Amino acid sequence: MTARRAPRSASGDRLLWEVAGRLTPRDRWLLTMLAEHQVLTGSQISRLCFTNPRTAQSRLALLHRLEVLDRARRYYGPTTGPHHYTLGPAGARILAAQRGVTPAEFGYRRDRLLTLLTSPRLAHLVGTNTLFTAWAHASRTLPAAHGLTVWWSEQRAAALWGAFVRPDGYGTWRTPTHRLDFHVEYDTGSESLTQVMGKLPGYARLAEASGIASPLLIWLPSAGREIALRARLTAATHGTVPIATASPTPLSATRPEEGPADLEAARALWLPLDATRRATLPQLADRYGTPTGPAPFPDAESEDNDDSDDRDAPFPRPPDPRP
């Protein structure tokens, strides 16, 4: 006898509606961030949209129990790493319903996300997201039109510029007087420096084709590798694209007042090829960015704006900051 497929449970739909009704604007924003960036750690989420780590931990635990989020930890010998959060099945259904599509049409694949959590790609993705999280965290006390106003994932950037480059991320930083659009390459050391250098002609071609020479920020895993790459960069030609490099501050040189290591990308660590002093992202914006006027920035408007397109990348700050 052929088994009959069970119909969708009405009680299951009611439960989903109940879950949806319990979500705050911040929760919904977090879902869009996970849909865009795939994986965020508990610490990154806390930096992005909470001010109290214990409040963040409690809320994330609830969202996990409701299957709005999935989470997993990786084991490193006798210790465990942080929780890594992805979009859960209930969260995917809610986002899909907002767009009037099924979870499959929305592109949700729970198995792919679970595979990612055990993939060598995880460290690279989390590292890239750590850079942008630091910049977003530094922006939380700024007006909505200033600071980090755009944060695109690798997938979104590749969909637009894949014929030229596949950056690990793309962002925009705004100061009161300038706008800096920039690409990010997050180097883990798994590629040779020759491979890293091989990416530069694509950025030069993109700048030539678009007429916009967006700076390239390259994060290296160590000071030694940064020095070696800079030697090659200085000897090579890379068109009109400004390049700045950075690497983690050695633990022996870190001073307590400089803050946590996961936020150091927002500090004065970025060294342009044509400079001798390291700079912050706002300083790079004032040096290499496009001058702007005082007009308001539309992307920073409330999510209540009916003209917004929910297929756009989410604004990298939550709509209603809470403790």
- Residue-number span of the structural domain to which 84 is assigned: 10-119
Going by the DSSP 8-state scheme, the letter that residue 277 receives in this structure is: S
Check whether residue 271 and residue 152 sit in a common domain.
Answer: yes
- In a domain, residue 321? The reply is no
Check whether residue 128 and residue 272 sit in a common domain.
Answer: yes
Q: What residue spans of 38-173 are helical by DSSP H?
A: 42-49, 53-65, 89-99, 103-106, 110-116, 121-139, 154-161
Looking at residue 248, its pLDDT comes to 94
Check whether residue 92 and residue 152 sit in a common domain.
Answer: no
Q: In terms of C-beta distances under 8 Å and separation of at least 24 residues, what long-range contacts does 99-102 make, across chains too?
A: 99/310, 99/311
113 compared with 254, residue with greater pLDDT: 113
- In a domain, residue 96? The reply is yes
**256-310, pLDDT tens digit by residue?**
456 788 999 999 999 999 999 999 999 999 999 999 976 454 444 443 333 344 4
pTM, full prediction = 0.89
CATH code at position 95? 1.10.10.10
Check whether residue 94 and residue 127 sit in a common domain.
Answer: no
**18-71, pLDDT tens digit by residue?**
898 999 999 999 999 999 999 999 999 999 999 999 999 999 999 999 999 999
- In a domain, residue 246? The reply is yes
**Domain total in the chain:** 2
Check whether residue 133 and residue 110 sit in a common domain.
Answer: no
Check whether residue 74 and residue 197 sit in a common domain.
Answer: no
Check whether residue 273 and residue 193 sit in a common domain.
Answer: yes
